[in-house]
Amino acid sequence: MSWRAEPIAAGAGAAEWWMEEWVRLSAFAYRNLIMARRNVFFLFELTFWPGVAMLSHGLLTRFLDLTPQMTAFILVGTVALSAVQVCQLDVAYAVLFDIWSKSMKHQFLTPVRIHHLALGSWVVGVGRGVIVWALMAVIGGRAFGFDFLGAGGMRVALFLLGCFLTALVIGLLVCALVLLWGTRAETSAWAAVNFFVMLSGIYYPVSVLPGWVQTISAGIPLTYFLDGIRAGYGFPPRFAHPFVIGFALSLLYAVLAHWALAAAVTRSRRTGLLLKLSE
Amino acid sequence: MTVWPGPSASAGHRQVAWLSVGSTQRFYQIDPDGANAPAPAGPLPPAWYDEPVMPASPLAVEAHDLAKTFRSGWLRRRETPALRGASLRVERGAIFGLLGPNGAGKTTLLSILATLLLPDRGSATILGHDVVREAFAIRRRLNMASGNASFVWSLRPAEVLAFYGRLYGLHGRSLRTRVAELLDRFELTPHLKTEYNELSTGLKQRLALAKALLNRPEVLFLDEPTLGLDPDVSIRIRAQIAELRRREGTTIILTTHYMREADELCDRIAFIKGGRILAEGSPDELKRQIRIGDVVALRLDPAAPAGLADLAGVLQVQARGDRIECTVDSAEKRLSEILRWLVEQHVVIRDCQVHEPELEEVFVELAR
């Protein structure tokens, strides 16, 4: 092998290509994991806020003397919000870490592509989202008798996957906004999720929303995932095949969000924002 | 410096001596019978220089008419032209310096070449690849370090290198070996437990250089690599840059404010101001180009022979203590003529020193 050889030789076979893809993808997972391990704030994200949300909403259902079915309706929304929030933050961190440390250009100087950045950090987000779900399921079960798995294992798995795909889309959009507007758009990392979950019927059926808002809700994948999981707790589904529609929309939006982030990166190279975010 | 006999003081009937000039260690043959040309091999390279093996294509970087204007503001649109048609060619294995005052466009030019910025106009290739259309392909083969580099604050040196190493496709043992090698080479091993934010400026700079070498780049961009560093750290970093070219034949394009750094490291230099390249050449060529003149300082017996000022190419003769200083258009051309004339006049030459203009003087002249 030449001393100047590529880390993984150009023109290598499919196995090497996949290895290279995985290695680049794993870089972001590696960084997010280190940051999650080292920073107390990340532990708060994982335990404190989801725990507080589950306890406060659970207590609210007790106070309102809701039926177990209605309690499930509310607490499913609580879990969805926390899981999506934690997972999408991990995706957004792929850009935010570099914004905060002013090291953006080094990342985009490498032969990295948007999907490496997105999927690498998303994998860690999924892991952290599952931890959040498990923690909330335990708290919900022990404190309020809410059996999350009562909806059926497969349904829960599909619901969580749907939440994480929604998180991927939102995370990519946050990254795109930050690369379009710089640090001014940083707060969108926290605000964006709340906006989307509000429209998707987080603690209420979308039927209570005004008609034109319902039209918007119908375009949000999380609306369908919430509808799908709640059907498992005995609520009549509003949509036929909610998971199918939800996944189809998620994949479509993931592609569009990927394109939007790629376009934002290109624009930041044109405007010089990429350099400004590194100074 | 002084003239002294070379290792072979005579070559046939020719009297040969070695003369080093200023800090640049240029060597000349002093031959009363012939032209005072540089030694046949040209200026002798410094000790660290070892001619790298050159690939077939001679150019590492070629830029033509690059222009970039930054735009800002919503209601009141502001336009700041940063580059106004810059062109340059850099040979493989060369160290090329970009000099210029603040805001001259050095970093903009470097950033376009490093694929971090898209030009408004013009074209550039790195190793034959277009920096806009084939950016992804060439990113594997280039890297960059900045004087004010920053990395994720909570990461430790090895983690910074491991992260970027993965982005370059390194993995497993090759990643571990490369990271360990660079930590060792840049003396970062004692700081493995220190988070980036707690490293000193010098250590951060060394880490930036280590990061820039992860992928063994064929073209390396260094944006003010010794900015704000202590002199001893700067010297070490300059030595590492020189070593990099010597050992790996890396093409290096650096921006700097330090003339000595440019003079010491660069084969060729471009002066850039207001987004335009005003002059380009080797440090010696640039010094000659602005015609400041070289000074030949002589200690003679008799001290001031009449007629010296009338020799061709002598611009001025001044007495300074026990010496006389002759300002000549080119020491390279005139030194042997002066020495031959002195010998013919039976003047004893006790000492002879040649001073070329400092690059700083060239910079000041061009920056006006």
**What distances in angstroms separate CA B150 from CA B192, B197, B301, one per listed residue?**
17, 9, 61
Is residue B309 pLDDT above 90, yes or no?
no
Provide φ and ψ at A205, rounded to 5°: -75, 145
Nearest CB among B111, B148, B169 relative to A23 is that of: B169
Q: Under a CB-based contact definition with an 8 Å cutoff, are residues B45 and B246 in contact?
A: no
Higher pLDDT, B230 or B60: B60
Q: Indicate whether B225 and B120 sit together in one domain.
A: yes
Contact A111 B168 (CB under 8 A): yes
- Specify if B158 maps to a domain: yes
Residue B255 sits in which domain range? 59-287
pLDDT in tens, B313-337: 888 888 888 888 888 877 778 888 8
Question: Which tens digits make up the pLDDT trace of A231-257?
Answer: 999 898 888 899 999 999 999 999 999
Residue B310 has pLDDT above 90, yes or no: no
Beta strand pairing call for B95-99 and B251-256: parallel
Mean pLDDT, range B38-67, rounded to an integer: 58
Q: Report residue A265 as tokens.
A: 């990166």
* Confidence at A52, pLDDT banded by 50, 70, 90: very high
From the list A230, A214, A36, A223, the residue with the least C-alpha distance to A124 is A36
The answer on pLDDT for B41 being more than 70 is no
Are β-strands B26-27 and B14-21 bridged in parallel, bridged antiparallel, or unpaired? antiparallel
B59-72 and B26-27 as β-strands: parallel, antiparallel, unpaired?
A: unpaired
For the cut 50, the answer to whether the pLDDT of residue B366 exceeds it is yes
Residue B281, domain member (yes or no): yes
Band of residue B358 on the pLDDT scale cut at 50, 70, 90: low
Q: In which band, very low, low, confident or very high, does the pLDDT at B368 lie, cut at 50, 70 and 90?
A: low
* B228 has a pLDDT exceeding 80: no
Element (H, E) at A166: helix A153-181
Gap between the Cα atoms of B203 and B221, Å rounded = 19
For residue A102, the chain B residues in CB contact (below 8 A) are 150
Q: Which residue has the higher pLDDT, A3 or B307?
A: B307
For residue A79, name the pLDDT band (cuts at 50, 70, 90). very high
- B118 and B231 share a domain? yes
Per-residue model confidence as pLDDT tens digits over B147-173:
888 899 899 999 999 999 999 999 999
Percent of chain B with pLDDT over 90: 40
- Measured between alpha carbons, how far is residue A222 from residues A116, A201, A250, B74, B312 in Å? 24, 9, 9, 36, 88
pLDDT tens-digit readout, B83-136: 999 999 999 999 999 988 888 899 999 999 999 999 999 999 999 999 999 999
pLDDT at B23: 35
> How confident is residue A196, by pLDDT bands cut at 50, 70 and 90?
confident
Q: Are residues B15 and B134 in the same domain?
A: no
Query: Do residue A24 and residue B167 have CB atoms under 8 angstroms apart?
Result: yes
DSSP per residue, B224-251: STTTT--HHHHHHHHHHHHHHHHHH--E
| Least CB–CB distance from A24: residue in B142, B149, B166 | B166
Q: What is the pLDDT of residue B307?
A: 86
**How are beta strands B268-273 and B95-99 bridged, if at all?**
parallel
B188-219 tens-digit pLDDT:
999 999 999 999 988 998 999 999 999 999 99
Worst-scoring range by mean pLDDT, A242-251, B15-24, B195-204, B257-266? B15-24
Question: Cβ-count burial of B53 within 10 angstroms (0-12 exposed, 13-18 middle, 19+ buried)?
Answer: exposed
Last residue of a domain, one of B231, B259, B287: B287
The complex's ipTM works out to 0.88
Residue B362 is predicted with a pLDDT of: 67
Mean pLDDT of A186-197: 82
The CATH number of whichever domain residue B143 belongs to comes to 3.40.50.300
- Annotate B147-169 with b (16+ C-beta within 10 A) or e (fewer): bebbbbbbbbbbbbbbbbbbbbb
Pair (B63, B76) in one structural domain: yes
Cβ pairs bridging A and B (under 8 Å): 110
Q: For A256-270, what is the mean pLDDT?
A: 95
Last residue of one domain, picked from the residues B287, B322, B353:
B287
Distance from CA of A172 to the nearest CA of B (A): 19
Q: With beta carbons less than 8 A apart as the criterion, state whether A109 and B116 touch.
A: yes
Weakest-pLDDT range from A16-25, A153-162, B311-320: B311-320
Q: Residues of A at the B interface (Cβ-Cβ below 8 Å)?
A: 3-4, 6-8, 10, 19-20, 23-24, 26-27, 30-31, 34-35, 38-39, 97-98, 100-103, 105-113, 116, 266, 269-272, 274-275, 278-279
- Chain B nearest CA to A102, separation (Å): 6
Last residue of a domain, one of B246, B262, B287: B287
* Res A83 pLDDT > 70: yes
pLDDT at B78 over 50: yes
Domain boundaries along the sequence of chain A? 14-276
pTM of the model: 0.78
- Beta-carbon separation of B154 and A111 below 8 A: no
Same domain, B274 and B334: no
Give the tens place of pLDDT for each residue, A96-123: 888 888 889 999 999 999 999 999 999 9
Is the CB of B115 inside 8 Å of chain A's CB atoms? yes
User: Exposure string (b/e) for B170-184, b if CB count within 10 Å is 16 or more?
Assistant: bbeeebeebbeebbe
With respect to residue B127, please indicate whether it lies within any of the assigned structural domains: yes
B324 is a domain residue: yes
Same domain membership, residue B328 and residue B274 = no
pLDDT at position B67? 95
Answer whether A116 sits within 8 Å of B167, measured CB to CB.
yes
